[in-house]
């Protein structure tokens, strides 16, 4: 059985349901695929059927080979039985095979025996095998004998093959519904499945946005735990919801390749500074929020609003993957596995902190890494699988409404692996970035530290002529946990989910992810460096400034969870505090002063207008040269008294005592 829980899979679906496209996506990552075409060529004049066949051929990559079995229905079982363990076969579809089976040219024949032979070949197959078949059992019983014979034979074939396959999925309107194996009941400590490990799927994950099955054929996503709180905390007041994680790049749906130069979204460039400027107007006592203003800036940019809200749904991803060789010197055998089991059971420091912070916890099994001083930590195939696995973990979180991810790790040898990545990507000296080894008895083990330094030194010497591309660094030095963490950062960036980094694995993944997508580091926040030299240097390279200096020694992820309530409180203050009364009054006065301006030069300037006859407009224009502000109603000295009665003068400028000229005096 393969690493994701199945070797043989039957994909059922109705006409135009998307079953063939789904089956093709499951084997898209295989280096070579043998496509077994079962449908007969059909009538040459049937252009519609020819168009369907051409569309199928056009979707196949050039690396695939095609083998046709339409000439003999028994040929399909022979092809499956002869397939080697390292081969991948895609059979499309069993409906065409049944058509050939019922062809009069192959009758009389023992059809049930032929179906049984096919099922036996599927059950005994050691190759990677995906079979596609129409589901006709949901339609009406055909009215013709030939139609009934076809549905009966196809129904019998589907039942026999489904029983022989490891897994069964039904495609309805393009959406996968996994029927076998069904989701198991939730155990106390379920087995976890990760890249490079075989285990039964522990959680149904994925969805329409990703195109991935509930327990994908790559590897099953681990169970998401919600540790019980003791005592329960009161529920927070509801806040307006934002569009936290709109789908931007879906790995499975688009066939996206994780490679350097990926174009992923950036946080909002304007929302962050606007949020910080808004803080200056709030009714905050004292000098303000200090360095925690960066939290408001970060949250506003990643949420795309100048009024960010506290992160309500938080998920901790605890990566468990050991490193062999000198990297794990000083680590007690089996201790990291015990910590992982403890976290799954809701016990231990990390689980308790997650409970108090109202955060869910997901223990992720990463592939074990080989001794990097002797050989590559992972193969190229394992790197690709682990990157996609981490991406899918982020997609699963986004689909579940998670607003913030916390990266944590508990594997043996993670610090030397991170130091090797830091040395390869940033030119660091291994002894300068490797922290001292502290045993379970709280003792300093300098001998183990020297072994770790030697392992990193030898690994760098072994790879001195190797490429320093991101995937090569992960394969040669990084190992399983750092590779999965890199995939998580890329997937979170694609789905616009911010990430709290806490420890060497997270910052090492940040260094590698910047070479794949430079936008990823802008979605990361570092609460504390923890006194670890590797984290300090990596933070400086990534441009991340730690918020606090707690130096907790409880393992990766603990400091982030310990500071999470404080970060939420800061965002709650920024979202709910009113504007300072002095600023609010000034704004109100400014608005009140500005209101009369459009009305004209004076508040009573409209009073003379109703009594001013339009016909006397020329008389109003004559006195204008005299100036705007006469203080008497007598006529000018040069004007003869007989020309104009004195009573007519008030219609001139003296009739507007509230004019601008009068106010200027």
Three-state secondary structure of 485-554: HHHHHHHHHHCCCCEECCCHHHHHHHHHHHHHCCCHHHHEECCECCCCHHHHHHHHHHCCCCCECCCCCC
- pLDDT, the chain, mean: 78
Whether a cis peptide bond, with omega within 30° of 0, leads into 108 is yes
Q: Which pLDDT does position 42 carry in this prediction?
A: 62
Q: Which pLDDT does position 162 carry in this prediction?
A: 93
The residues near 47 (Cβ < 8 Å, ≥ 6 apart) are none
Quick one: pLDDT band at residue 370, thresholds 50, 70, 90?
very high
Q: Which pLDDT does position 664 carry in this prediction?
A: 40
Question: 327, 372 in Cβ contact below 8 A?
Answer: yes
Q: What is the mean pLDDT of residues 527-535?
A: 82
In this model, does residue 247 exceed pLDDT 80? no
Sort 328 into a burial class: Cβ within 10 Å, 0-12 / 13-18 / 19+: buried
**Which residue in 410, 408, 249, 282 sits closest to 335, CA to CA?**
410
Distance CA 141, CA 181 (A): 29
111 or 297: which leads in pLDDT: 297
Distance CA 101, CA 546 (A): 69
Within 83-144, where are the H helices?
Answer: 94-101, 111-124
Backbone phi, then psi, for 610, in 5-degree steps?
A: -65, -30
Q: Which pLDDT does position 4 carry in this prediction?
A: 53
Q: What is the mean pLDDT of residues 188-212?
A: 40
Quick one: pLDDT band at residue 219, thresholds 50, 70, 90?
low
Q: Which pLDDT does position 441 carry in this prediction?
A: 74
Distance CA 283, CA 652 (A): 54
Reduced to 3 states, what is the DSSP secondary structure of residue 167? strand
In this model, does residue 5 exceed pLDDT 70? no
Which two tokens mark 525? 């926040």
Angle (CA) 217 220 225, round 5°: 160
Which two tokens mark 96? 């065409």
Q: Which of 220-229, 444-453, 496-505 has the lowest mean pLDDT?
A: 220-229
Q: What percent of the chain has pLDDT over 90?
A: 31
Provide the phi-psi class of 363: left if phi over 0, else alpha when psi is between -120 and 50, else beta. beta
Q: Which pLDDT does position 586 carry in this prediction?
A: 53
Q: Which pLDDT does position 105 carry in this prediction?
A: 80
In this model, does residue 344 exceed pLDDT 60? yes
Q: Which of 173-182, 185-194, 291-300, 365-374 has the lowest mean pLDDT?
A: 185-194
Most confident of 243-257, 334-348, 388-402: 388-402
Q: What is the mean pLDDT of residues 309-337?
A: 91
Q: Which pLDDT does position 79 carry in this prediction?
A: 92
How do residues 203-216 score in pLDDT, each as one tens digit? 433 443 344 444 44
Distance CA 482, CA 503 (A): 11
**Which residue in 651, 622, 658 sits closest to 639, CA to CA?**
622
Most confident of 246-260, 390-404, 609-623, 648-662: 390-404
How do residues 149-170 score in pLDDT, each as one tens digit? 888 899 999 999 999 998 999 9
In this model, does residue 594 exceed pLDDT 60? no
534 or 77: which leads in pLDDT: 77
How do residues 272-291 score in pLDDT, each as one tens digit? 899 888 888 887 777 777 88
In this model, does residue 627 exceed pLDDT 60? no
Q: What is the mean pLDDT of residues 440-466?
A: 89
Most confident of 19-28, 234-243, 248-257, 616-625: 19-28
Quick one: pLDDT band at residue 103, thresholds 50, 70, 90?
confident
Active-site positions read 556
State how far the alpha carbon of 405 is from the alpha carbons of 114, 220, 317, 401, 661, in Å: 53, 19, 7, 11, 68
In this model, does residue 44 exceed pLDDT 70? no
Q: What is the mean pLDDT of residues 348-354?
A: 88
Q: Which pLDDT does position 581 carry in this prediction?
A: 83
Q: Which pLDDT does position 484 carry in this prediction?
A: 94
Provide the phi-psi class of 346: left if phi over 0, else alpha when psi is between -120 and 50, else beta. left
The residues near 426 (Cβ < 8 Å, ≥ 6 apart) are 511, 537, 538, 541
Quick one: pLDDT band at residue 250, thresholds 50, 70, 90?
low
Q: Which of 327-336, 427-436, 454-463 has the lowest mean pLDDT?
A: 427-436
Reduced to 3 states, what is the DSSP secondary structure of residue 59? helix
Distance between first and last Cα of the chain: 100
Q: Which pLDDT does position 417 carry in this prediction?
A: 93
**Which residue in 264, 332, 345, 335 sits closest to 302, CA to CA?**
264
Q: Which pLDDT does position 197 carry in this prediction?
A: 42
Whether a cis peptide bond, with omega within 30° of 0, leads into 231 is yes
Distance CA 157, CA 180 (A): 17
Q: Which pLDDT does position 556 carry in this prediction?
A: 78
């Amino acid at each position: 059985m393969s690493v994701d829980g199945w070797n043989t899979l039957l994909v059922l679906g109705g006409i135009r349901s998307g079953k063939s496209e789904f089956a093709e996506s499951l084997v898209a990552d295989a280096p070579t695929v043998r496509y077994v075409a079962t449908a007969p060529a059909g009538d040459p004049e049937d252009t519609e059927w020819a168009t369907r066949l051409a569309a199928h051929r056009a979707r196949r990559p050039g690396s695939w080979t095609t083998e046709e079995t339409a000439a003999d229905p028994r040929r399909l079982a022979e092809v499956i039985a002869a397939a080697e363990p390292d081969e991948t076969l895609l059979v499309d579809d069993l409906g065409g095979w049944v058509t050939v089976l019922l062809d009069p040219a192959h009758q009389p024949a023992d059809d049930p025996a032929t179906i049984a032979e096919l099922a036996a070949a599927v059950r005994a197959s050691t190759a990677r095998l995906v079979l596609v078949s129409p589901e006709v059992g949901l339609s009406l019983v055909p009215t013709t004998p030939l139609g009934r014979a076809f549905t009966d034979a196809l129904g019998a074939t589907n039942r026999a093959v489904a029983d022989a396959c490891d897994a069964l999925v039904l495609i309805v309107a393009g959406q996968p519904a996994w029927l076998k194996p069904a989701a198991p009941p939730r155990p106390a400590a379920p087995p976890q499945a990760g890249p490079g490990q075989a285990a039964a799927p522990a959680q149904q994950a994925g969805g329409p946005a990703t195109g991935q099955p509930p327990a994908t054929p790559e590897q099953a996503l681990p169970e998401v735990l919600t540790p019980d709180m003791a005592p329960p905390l009161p529920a927070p007041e509801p806040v307006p919801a934002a569009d936290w994680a709109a789908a931007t790049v879906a790995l499975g749906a688009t066939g996206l390749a994780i490679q350097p130069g990926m174009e992923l979204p950036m946080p909002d460039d304007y929302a962050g500074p606007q949020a910080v400027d808004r803080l200056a107007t709030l009714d905050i006592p004292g000098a303000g929020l200090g360095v925690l203003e960066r939290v408001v800036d970060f949250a506003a940019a990643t949420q795309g609003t100048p009024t960010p809200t506290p992160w309500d749904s938080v998920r901790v991803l605890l990566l468990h993957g050991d490193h062999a060789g000198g990297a794990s010197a000083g680590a007690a055998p089996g201790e990291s596995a015990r910590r992982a089991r403890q976290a799954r059971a809701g016990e231990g420091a990390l689980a308790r902190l997650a409970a108090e912070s109202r955060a869910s916890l997901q223990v992720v099994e990463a592939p074990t890494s080989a001794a990097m001083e002797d050989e590559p930590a992972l193969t190229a195939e394992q790197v690709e699988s682990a990157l996609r696995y981490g991406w899918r973990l982020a997609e699963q979180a986004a689909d579940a409404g998670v607003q913030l991810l916390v990266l944590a790790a508990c594997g043996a040898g993670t610090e030397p692996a991170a130091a090797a990545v830091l040395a390869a990507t940033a030119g660091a000296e291994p002894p300068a970035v490797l922290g001292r080894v502290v045993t379970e008895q709280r003792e300093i083990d300098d001998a183990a530290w020297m072994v770790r330094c030697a392992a990193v030194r030898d690994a760098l010497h072994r790879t001195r002529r190797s490429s320093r591309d991101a995937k090569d660094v992960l394969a040669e030095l990084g190992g399983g946990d750092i590779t999965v963490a890199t995939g998580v950062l890329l997937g979170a960036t694609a789905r616009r989910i911010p990430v709290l980094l806490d420890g060497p694995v997270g910052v090492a993944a940040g260094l590698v992810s910047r070479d794949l997508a430079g936008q990823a580091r802008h979605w990361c926040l570092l609460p504390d460096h923890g006194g670890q030299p590797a984290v300090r240097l990596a933070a400086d390279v990534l441009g991340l400034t730690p918020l606090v200096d707690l130096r907790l020694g409880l393992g990766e992820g603990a400091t982030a969870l310990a500071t999470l309530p404080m970060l939420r409180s800061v965002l709650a203050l920024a979202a709910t505090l009113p504007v300072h009364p002095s600023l609010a009054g000034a704004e109100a006065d400014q608005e009140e002063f500005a209101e009369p301006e459009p009305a004209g030069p004076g508040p009573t300037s409209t009073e003379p207008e109703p009594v001013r006859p339009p016909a006397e407009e020329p008389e109003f224009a004559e006195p204008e040269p005299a100036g705007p502000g006469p203080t008497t109603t007598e006529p000018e000295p040069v004007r003869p008294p007989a020309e104009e009665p004195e009573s007519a003068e008030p219609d001139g400028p003296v009739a507007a005592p509230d004019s601008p000229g009068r106010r200027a005096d």
